[in-house]
Amino acid sequence: MGPFMSPFNNLLCMLLGISFTVWFTLLLVFIIVPAIFGVSFGIRRLYMKTLLKVFEWATMRMERGAKEKNHLLYKPCSLNSIIAKESTSLEEELKDIRRNCSSPELDDSASITTDPSPSSSEFDMSDAFYFCRRGIESIVDDEVTKCFTAEELESWNLLTRSNYNFNHISSRLTVLWGLGVVIRYGFLLPLRMKNFLSEKVHLMCYRICVRALTAIITYHHSENKPKNGGICVANHTSPIDVIILASDGCYAMVGQIHGGLMGLIQRSMVKACPHIWFERSEVKDRHLVAKRLSDHVKDKSKLPILIFPEGTCINNTSVMMFKKGSFEIGSTVYPVAIKYDPRFGEAFWNSSQFGMMNYLLRMMSSWAIVCSVWYLPPMIRQEGEDAMQFANRVKAAIARQGGLVDLLWDGGLKRGKVKDTFKEEQQKLYSKILVGTQEVRSRS
């Protein structure tokens, strides 16, 4: 048996490999690529029309087979009740019941008279029949319960959930139903497992990027990894910070919408995951930004938000001022410290000197990208602590863990001018010194 089993195993492996290749190619060509570029091949509409034609044929074949085998087709009863009811008033029904229950021949000597009218204040034993009948009708034909039961279809959609057991009427119908089972459970179900597939595809893509950069990453304290409904904040050295973190877990990104290559990447990413991208005009609206972030973290099913509060890349030696916007939301903050080893390649992106393509070329031509990532314990805003104090406390923890210098300066000074308030503060300080010196001289 040994010599025969080896070719069989090879054939089985080859068939499995071909099946996976075909499935992945279809996924790439007909789902991922159209989603990236926002185009439609019209396949879904063609699929819908084809299904309708198949359903039509299956229904006609089912009806013909039911007649041949004397089966009774179940028709939907959402509009027709099980019990025929007439819209009559309570007074009319009681009057009819009393009239039908009254005896046509009464003893002349009897002093009892029967009044068939329900307007009489006296109780009549026949009235109980009305309430008994209504009670039984409500049990048999419950209008409320029917509203929570799936409606039976006049046509058959090849699912055993409707018109059950009609798949056995004919052999051709059975074959078609079996083919439908294979398509629904073997092809459509895996494609529709969006959350599972999205997470796996995200991790796979980022890990491919990590390997392309020959990135060697050491993750510390993985038990503190960010969880859904929280905000992950990290120091920012390079655009590949995103790849470094996302290769170990999935995040929802936050940032400004860009053009060019970066814009294409952003538009592609948002189709697979609810990332938060802002227009340039929206970034300045702090209330809009805070609301978008707050709405995201309230949904515990959504991925944790990844934010770089410095707002710009710093040269791997320091941590500069954290913008307080992401610390005003009141959500749990998961600090992360990233430290690169510059001996193998310079990861810092000086955006004022190098464009994105030039920077990526420099990264791809480096010996390697070696870095360490520390997941710090989650932090929450303390009572009486404002957003800026909370931001500084988180920044200090990241700087301490990563061995970085904790600076109070705004990273935006890389491109902008020093604010007038800083100049005025120095001028006031110098003027006080001058005034004080003059007072000392006058006294002496």
If you average pLDDT over residues 20-47, what whole number do you get?
70
Three-class DSSP category at 175: helix
Residue 142, CA atoms < 13 Å, CB-side half-sphere: 7
Binned at pLDDT 50, 70 and 90, residue 118 comes out as very low
If you average pLDDT over residues 209-217, what whole number do you get?
83
Which range has the worst mean pLDDT, 189-203, 241-255, 331-345, 398-412? 189-203
| C-beta separation of 64 from 78 below 8 A | no
pLDDT at 4 over 70: no
Q: How far apart are CA 242 and CA 269, in angstroms?
A: 13
Tokens of 279: 């227009």
pLDDT at 68 over 80: no
Over the range 195-215, which residues count as b (16 or more CB within 10 Å of their CB) and which as e?
Answer: eeeebeebeeebeebbeebeb
pLDDT, mean over the chain: 75
pLDDT at 199 over 90: no
pLDDT at 335 over 90: yes
Binned at pLDDT 50, 70 and 90, residue 392 comes out as very high
| C-beta separation of 220 from 373 below 8 A | yes
Binned at pLDDT 50, 70 and 90, residue 234 comes out as very high
If you average pLDDT over residues 146-169, what whole number do you get?
57
Query: Which pLDDT belongs to residue 102?
Result: 66
Q: How far apart are CA 112 and CA 115, in angstroms?
A: 10
Name the helix (H) or strand (E) containing 219.
strand 215-220
Residue 173, CA atoms < 13 Å, CB-side half-sphere: 24
Query: Which pLDDT belongs to residue 70?
Result: 64
pLDDT at 113 over 50: no
Q: What residue segments make up the domains of the chain, in order of their start?
A: 10-41, 54-81+139-192, 196-421
Q: How far apart are CA 326 and CA 233, in angstroms?
A: 9
pLDDT in tens, 275-324: 787 776 666 666 777 787 888 888 877 889 899 988 888 888 889 889 88
Which range has the worst mean pLDDT, 84-88, 215-219, 328-332, 354-358? 84-88
Non-local (6+) Cβ contacts of 222 within 8 A are 248, 375
pLDDT at 100 over 90: no
If you average pLDDT over residues 145-153, what whole number do you get?
52
Query: Which pLDDT belongs to residue 232?
Result: 93
What are the Cα distances from residue 144, in Å, to 20, 136, 138, 148, 149? Answer: 48, 15, 9, 7, 10
Which range has the worst mean pLDDT, 40-49, 110-119, 370-379, 432-441? 110-119
Query: Which pLDDT belongs to residue 285?
Result: 66
Three-class DSSP category at 132: helix
Binned at pLDDT 50, 70 and 90, residue 84 comes out as low
Q: Chain-centre distance of CA 356, in angstroms?
A: 30
Q: Chain-centre distance of CA 381, in angstroms?
A: 27
Between 298 and 20, the higher pLDDT residue: 298
